[in-house]
Structure 1
Amino acid sequence: MTESQDGAWLDDEAGRLVRPYTVSNGRTRSTVHFDLLSLVMATGTRPKTYLGPDCDLVLDLCGARPISVAEVAAHLHLPATVTKVLLSDLVGHNALTTQAPRPIEAASPTDRKILEEVLHGLRKRL
């Protein structure tokens, strides 16, 4: 699909002109396990076959820095399940790498230091 044909998928006023699950060919399960906090990054390799304008947008988003699956879904205005299918397609074509989120140390919900940092952050925003 040429760049001029990509515009047929989107309309400035109406938004997306195809249903979200059309983007993933009706698939709802990805072949790669992603957490919403998993990070994805472009490898610099482009798929040999054209996967659609949404995959091009994903590669552009993931090219500069690692980005979470949730952020990609938000940028594309797609459900997370559809986004995960697109990402798994790109991982399968070696165009993306993925990194599982690092586990955080379990902290007590009443840890004074954490509560003070939250309070400090809230004061800065108000």
Structure 2
Amino acid sequence: MSGYGQGRNHWFDDEAGPVVRPYAMTRGRTTSAAQHRLDLIAVVASEPGAGDPEADPTLSPEHVDIVGLCRNAPQPVADIAAKLDLPIGVVRVLIGDLVHAELVHVTRPVPPAELPDESILRDVINGLRAL
């Protein structure tokens, strides 16, 4: 008899453990309100004084893991995805949830276009040396 009629899924072996699809972690969502700020190098930090994420029944274990990773030191989005072994799209949605819940905040490094020009910095150094 095939595995379909036996009431047990046979599309993975017993050693694989429980399989959770990424869309289940995000409840089918592929974007979040904060997604526009969540590029790979955006840095996520837990909010000081934020409540205990484990006490919130609306948060998944993955949400709690993200807050835990960011509690000791801010983490780039790419590192969070790598450490939790989750797809980057899923991590972006989950972080967006946490931003909305005010458990974490996101900062972005200064874009290279907004950094001062090297010649301006040289002029400042030369001016300081002339003093």
Fold equivalence (TM over 0.5): yes
Change (3 A) 1:52 1:39: same
Separation in 1 of the partners of 2:70 and 2:18?
Answer: 21
Where 1:97 maps in the other structure, the secondary structure is strand
The one-letter code sitting in structure 1 at the alignment partner of 2:62 is: D
Residue identity (%): 39
Q: Cα gap change, 1:60/1:52 in structure 2, threshold over 3 Å: closer, same or farther?
A: same
1:15 to 1:64, Cα distance in 2 relative to 1, 3 A:
farther
Report the CA distance shift for 1:106/1:70 in structure 2 as closer, same or farther (over 3 A).
farther
> Which has the larger helix fraction?
2
Listed as ranges, the gaps of 5+ residues in structure 1 are 1-12, 108-126
The residue aligned with 1:45 is 50
| Deviation for aligned residue 1:16 | 5.5
| Structure number with bigger Rg | 2
Distance 1:31-1:52 versus aligned 2 partners, 3 A rule: same
Match of 2:27 in 1: 25
**Secondary structure class of the residue paired with 1:94:** coil
1:76 equivalenced with 2:78 (yes/no): no
Provide the aligned C-alpha RMSD in A: 2.2
Q: CA deviation at 1:15?
A: 5.5
Deviation per CA, 1:2-52, whole angstroms, max 9, x where unpaired? xxxxxxxxxxx5256211121000111121021110000011413573211
